């Protein structure tokens, strides 16, 4: 009784003449954590950028709850409940932590629910409460990552797209972030997770797709991918 | 470093000789005039205060124009060359309305005051709309394709179009305008003296007229309103966010194009207000008045740190005061050289401007 919430059908995306996505098809069902693993330049971030409308696919369709969204501008896709914590965090460096979080709730102009959501984010990331008045650019890498995820949560996502949440973080923090990702999922948010850290990603995800130079080469349950020989060799560092 | 490059400094210290020559040059050519200037300032403090007040008034209107440069640059990194000419069109539009309302120095204040406010708001609405439309037609399509040069050249083109629009405007002789454009189309247009010509500091030997107070007062109100808008409101914050990271702003659900339009609208409105205030203050407007004003305002924006809103205000004030002092104590002919000389010096030592951010130069 799984329902496809987000569906990509044969999506091709170009950067100028560069054919970055060569026909991606994938499905994210309601309530799942789906991970997209693959090496640098495989097209993981481009896939998320295409879903969010920052890049538009040249051919193919993207469906959200059955309706096409691939021709919508980025800001309208956000209004549907698809939020992204982008690669490299992309915190607004000269806005305060609080202002960054407020921007996450930009589509909802309503101060009551905003307070609730702020509380929720502070509960997940107590560090952010301590940094509330600090400029985003002065935070440490880990704090910026928390802010980027928190900012996306402020938009009350139905689907949360996470791009490399573990990048550049100390191992302790990586564990912490992945635990929080699971918590967010348990609270009812569907998650599409892009990661280079395949080990951690497969540990928390339900299903996974393996991306290689713009193509999906494997898809299976996370457990099956973990025990897949090719995956072990290429992405899990096992011989 | 172990393998640093061998310096020429082995034989002759050319670099030090260069520095010494520059110091000698400065001492020879700048010390005496500077001493003279300071002497003159001390000898007649009333004159100094008067010049500072003139600088304050000029600084106020320069700051209003400078904000248009800085808002737009902060968000789309375009030097909007046509902005000075937009200010000129603001002056022409307000003069036209003055004619339509048949405002004269004899109009009683009970009618004149409210109508002047109407003229101000209408002028701001006019230049704001015009600026927004020009962005849509002439700049938006050029964004994100090729180099930033394309949009810059487009802006230079619009600058000429605006100036010719100003010339054309001078030919307009509609009956409802009540002959406000005068008889000669190209000549400077005269505003009636609608601001009261009273010296508020009469008897002190210093001059600060009621019209100076109006210019400074209206400017301060507008600048404060802009500051509050940008720092406190949801849309203002969205504008800063867009300036700092356009993609990330789009991912927050912010309509980036609309936010850019907003920057053009705000900048345009302030330029229009400035055009009207200066027109009424100086009693004149001419089709090419936007060039020098635009250049000085742009300088003010760069001086304060382009993209920085408070910087543009500070830069405007400084340029106003430096110009006024230079006009009095050096020579009006030297003022541009002095203003731009100071700009060069500041930029050499602080490329991001006085309040510019070191990490990035925006917002």
- Per CB-CB distance under 8 Å, the chain A contacts of B359 are 93, 137
* Interface residue of B240, B252, B254, B261 to substitute, partner A, most A CBs within 10 Å: B252
pLDDT in tens, B97-123: 999 999 999 999 999 999 999 999 999
Model confidence pLDDT, tens digit, residues B3-36: 455 554 455 667 788 888 888 887 887 788 888 8
The answer on pLDDT for B286 being more than 90 is yes
User: Which of A86, A99, A137 faces B251 most closely, judged by CB atoms?
Assistant: A86
Q: How does the average pLDDT of chain B come out, rounded?
A: 90
Spatial contact of A25 and A9, defined as CB atoms under 8 Å apart: yes
Residue B4 belongs to some domain of the structure:
no
For residue B234, give the chain A residue with the closest CA.
A106
- Cβ-based contacts of B255 with chain A (< 8 Å): 73, 75
What is the distance between the alpha carbons of residues B230 and B70, in angstroms, rounded to a whole number? 13
At B203-254, the pLDDT tens digits run 888 889 999 999 999 999 999 999 999 999 999 999 999 999 999 999 999 9
Domain regions of chain A by residue span:
1-81+157-239, 92-156
Contacts of B247 in chain A (CB under 8 A): 54, 74, 86, 90
Per cent of chain B over pLDDT 90 is 66
Nearest to A103 among B247, B252, B360 (CB): B252
B352 located within any domain: no
Are B193 and B209 in contact by the 8 Å Cβ rule? The answer is: no
pLDDT at B37: 86
Q: Between residues B197 and A239, which one has the greater pLDDT?
A: B197
pLDDT at A1: 46
Q: Are A107 and B253 in contact (CB under 8 A)?
A: yes
Query: How far is Cα of residue A149 from the mean position of the Cα atoms in its chain?
Result: 9
- pLDDT band of A144, cuts 50, 70, 90: very high
Could you report the per-residue pLDDT of B137-164, keeping only the tens digit for each?
999 988 877 677 899 999 999 999 999 9
A34-38, A119-123, B18-22, range with the lowest pLDDT = B18-22
- Answer whether B256's CB lies under 8 Å from B249's CB: yes
Return d(Cα A45, Cα A57) in angstroms, integer: 14
**Average pLDDT estimate for B39-59:** 92
Please check the confidence at residue A31 and state whether its pLDDT lies above 50.
yes
Structure tokens at B174: 């509609």
What distance lies between CA B276 and its chain's CA centroid?
13
The SS3 assignment for B12 reads coil
Burial level of A126, CB count in 10 A (0-12/13-18/19+)? exposed
- The answer to whether the beta carbons of residues B194 and B95 sit under 8 Å apart is no
Residues forming beta bridges with residue A9, ordered by sequence position: A61
A81 touches B: beta carbon within 8 Å: no
Burial class, B17, CB count within 10 angstroms (exposed 0-12 / middle 13-18 / buried 19+): exposed
**Total domains, chain B:** 1
The beta-carbon neighbor of A94 closest among B248, B255, B363 is B363
Pairing of strands A190-195, A159-163: parallel
- Compute and round to an integer the Cα radius of gyration of chain B: 23
pLDDT digits (tens, 9 = 90+) for B298-330: 999 999 998 899 999 999 999 999 999 999 998
Q: How far is Cα B328 from Cα B48, in angstroms, rounded to an integer?
A: 9
Cβ contact A209:A216 at 8 Å: yes
What are φ and ψ of residue B54, in 5° steps? -60, -40
pLDDT of B345 strictly over 90: no
Q: How many CB atoms lie within 10 A of CB B131?
A: 29
**What tokens were used for A3?**
């329902």
Cβ separation B247–A86 shorter than 8 A? yes
Which alpha helices (H) appear in chain B, and where do they start and end? 14-43, 45-76, 83-100, 109-134, 149-171, 210-232, 234-244, 246-251, 256-282, 289-304, 309-329, 335-349
Question: Could you list the residue range(s) of the whole structural domain that residue B144 is in?
Answer: 54-302
Answer whether A93's CB lies under 8 Å from A135's CB.
yes
Give the pLDDT band (50/70/90) at residue A239: low
What is the Cα–Cα distance from A201 to B279, expressed in whole angstroms? 66
In angstroms, the CA A215 to CA A12 distance is: 10
What pLDDT does residue B357 have? 66
Mean pLDDT of chain A: 93
- Between B129 and B201, the higher pLDDT residue: B129
Which chain A residue has its CA at the smallest distance from B242's CA? A92
A66–chain B nearest CA distance, Å: 21
**B208 within some domain:** yes
**Contact: A94, B245; criterion CB under 8 Å:** no
Q: Judge whether B252 lies within some domain.
A: yes
The beta-carbon neighbor of B253 closest among A91, A102, A155 is A155
Per residue in A174-198, pLDDT tens? Answer: 999 999 999 999 999 999 999 989 9
Residue B296 has pLDDT above 60, yes or no: yes
CB contact under 8 A, A75 and B238: no
- Nearest-angstrom CA–CA distance, A95 and A5: 33
Chain A CB contacts of B250 below 8 Å: 52-54, 73-75, 78
Asked if the interface predicted TM-score (ipTM) of this complex is over 0.90, the answer is yes
CA angle at B37 for the pair B35 and B38, rounded to the nearest 5°: 65
A156 at interface of B, judged by CB pairs closer than 8 A: no
Residue of A95, A109, A155 lying closest to B244 (CB–CB): A95
Closest chain A residue to the Cα of B238, Cα to Cα: A103
How far CA B33 is from CA of B28, B38, B39, B145, B333, in Å, comes to: 10, 9, 10, 50, 15
* Neighbouring C-beta atoms of residue A18, cutoff 10 Å: 9
- More confidently predicted of B268 and B360: B268
Q: Is A99 on the interface with B (CB under 8 A)?
A: yes
CA angle B352, B356, B362 (to 5 degrees): 100
pLDDT of residue B1: 41
pLDDT score of B11: 58
A1-81+157-239: which CATH architecture? 3-Layer(aba) Sandwich (3.40)
* Contacting residues of B for A162, CB less than 8 Å apart: none
**Residue B360 resides in a domain:** no
The number of residues in chain B equals: 363
Q: Do A103 and B360 touch (CB under 8 A)?
A: no
């Amino acid at each position: 009784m799984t329902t496809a919430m987000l569906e990509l059908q044969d999506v091709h995306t170009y950067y100028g003449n560069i054919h970055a996505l060569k026909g991606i098809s994938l499905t994210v069902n309601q309530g799942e954590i789906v991970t997209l693993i693959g090496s640098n330049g495989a097209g993981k971030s481009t896939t998320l950028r295409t879903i969010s409308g920052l890049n538009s696919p040249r051919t193919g369709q993207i469906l959200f709850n059955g309706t096409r969204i691939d021709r919508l501008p980025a800001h309208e896709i956000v209004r549907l409940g698809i939020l992204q914590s982008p690669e490299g965090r992309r915190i607004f460096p000269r806005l305060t932590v609080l202002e960054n979080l407020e921007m996450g709730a930009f589509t909802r102009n309503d101060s009551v629910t905003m307070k609730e959501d702020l509380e929720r984010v502070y509960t997940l990331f107590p560090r952010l409460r301590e940094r509330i008045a600090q400029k985003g650019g002065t935070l440490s890498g880990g704090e910026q990552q928390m802010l980027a995820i928190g900012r996306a949560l402020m938009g009350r996502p139905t689907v949360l797209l996470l791009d490399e949440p573990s990048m550049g973080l100390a191992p302790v923090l990586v564990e912490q972030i992945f635990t929080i990702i699971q918590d967010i999922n348990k609270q009812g948010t569907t998650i599409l997770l892009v990661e280079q850290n395949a080990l951690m990603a497969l540990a928390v995800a339900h299903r996974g797709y393996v991306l290689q130079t713009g193509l999906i080469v494997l898809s299976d349950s996370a457990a099956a991918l973990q025990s897949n020989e090719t995956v072990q060799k290429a992405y899990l560092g096992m011989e | 470093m172990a393998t640093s490059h061998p310096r020429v400094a082995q034989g002759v210290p050319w670099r030090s000789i260069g520095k010494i020559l520059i110091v000698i040059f400065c001492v020879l050519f700048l010390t005496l005039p500077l001493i003279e200037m300071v002497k003159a300032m001390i000898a007649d403090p009333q004159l100094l205060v008067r010049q500072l007040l003139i600088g304050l008034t000029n600084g106020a209107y320069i700051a209003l124009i400078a904000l248009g440069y800085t808002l737009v640059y902060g968000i789309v990194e375009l030097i909007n060359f046509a902005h000075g000419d937009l200010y000129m069109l603001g002056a022409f539009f307000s003069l036209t309305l003055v004619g339509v309302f048949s405002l004269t120095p004899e109009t009683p204040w009970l009618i004149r005051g409210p109508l002047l406010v109407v003229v101000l708001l209408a002028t701001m609405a006019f230049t704001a709309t015009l600026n927004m439309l020009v962005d849509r037609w002439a700049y938006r399509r050029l964004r994100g394709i090729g180099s930033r040069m394309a949009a810059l050249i487009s802006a230079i083109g619009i600058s000429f179009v605006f100036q010719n629009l100003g010339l054309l405007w001078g030919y307009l002789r509609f009956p409802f305008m009540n002959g406000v454009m005068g008889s000669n189309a190209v000549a400077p247009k005269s505003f009636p003296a609608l601001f009261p010509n009273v010296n508020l500091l009469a008897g002190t030997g210093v001059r600060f007229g009621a019209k100076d107070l109006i210019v400074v007062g209206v400017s301060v109100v507008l600048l404060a309103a802009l500051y509050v808008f940008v720092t406190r409101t949801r849309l203002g914050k969205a504008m800063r966010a867009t300036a700092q990271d356009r993609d990330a702003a789009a991912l927050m659900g912010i309509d980036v194009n609309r936010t850019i339009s907003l920057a053009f609208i705000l900048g345009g409105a302030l330029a229009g207000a400035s055009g009207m205030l200066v027109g009424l203050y100086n009693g004149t407007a001419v089709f090419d008045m936007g060039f020098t004003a635009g250049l000085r305002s742009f300088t003010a924006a760069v001086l304060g740190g382009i993209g920085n809103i408070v910087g543009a205000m500070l830069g405007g004030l400084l340029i106003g005061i430096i110009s006024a002092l230079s006009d009095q104590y050096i020579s009006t002919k030297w003022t541009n050289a002095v203003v731009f000389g100071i700009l060069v010096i500041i930029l050499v030592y602080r490329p991001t401007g006085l309040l510019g951010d070191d990490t990035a130069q925006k917002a």
